[in-house]
Amino acid sequence: MKANRGKKPKYLVCAEMGLVDDSVCEGPLKNYSTDLVCSIREQLMDKVSGLTEKFNTNSRYFGYSTGKDRAYIYVFKRDLRIDLDISRDYEADLKEEGFEVRFTNNFQGRAGWLTGWRVPHTTNIERVMKWLLKALNEDELKK
């Protein structure tokens, strides 16, 4: 079977620049806690120039790029799972801050990303933003 390279699936909505329209996320996230992820989206838009967002309506994840993919936020009932394009060496720092990190053996994990960071929906946004901004800031990609 031949792969459809370059053709995006119908469940993947990509903004040309900035964020995808909120209406795209409303249905798939209807019964999920969204206060934290919505605040994250707004702050990322304000603080990261050249940001592009994509949203997978099937798997309920947001992807963020500044020329190349840098972060994914998966929305679950209990929490968010965040994968970041930073060194896995930072797992210890996140654990010291009281977060749970369970490595995810997905494409990003095999590429050396920090994956499986679990963030409860009640987490203070500043505790999350510093790590997202580290991944999206090209000057601080690796420890």
Query: Which CATH number does the domain housing residue 131 bear?
Result: 3.90.1150.200
| CA neighbor of 44 nearest in space, from 8, 80, 17, 78 | 17
Q: Which domain holds residue 37?
A: 12-138
Residues 6+ apart with CB under 8 A from 39: 125
> What's the 3-state SS for 73-134?
EEECCCEEEEEECCCHHHHHHHHHCCCEECCCCCHHHHCCCEEEEEEECCCCHHHHHHHHHH
In a domain, 127, yes or no: yes
Confidence of residue 65 (pLDDT cuts 50, 70, 90): very high
Whole-number pLDDT of residue 6: 60
pLDDT exceeds 80 at position 140: no
Average pLDDT over residues 2-28: 84
Mean pLDDT for the chain overall: 91
The CA-atom distances, in angstroms, between 43 and each of 51, 57, 87, 130, 142 are 11, 21, 23, 11, 22
pLDDT exceeds cutoff 70 at 141: no
pLDDT for position 3: 45
Is 2 within the bounds of a domain?
no
Instruction: Please report whether residue 30 resides in a domain.
Output: yes
Residue 61 lies in a domain: yes
Task: Answer whether residue 4 shows pLDDT above 50.
Answer: no
| pLDDT of amino acid 8 | 72
Give the total number of structural domains in the chain: 1
Is 28's pLDDT higher than 60? yes
| Residue with more model confidence, 13 or 9 | 13
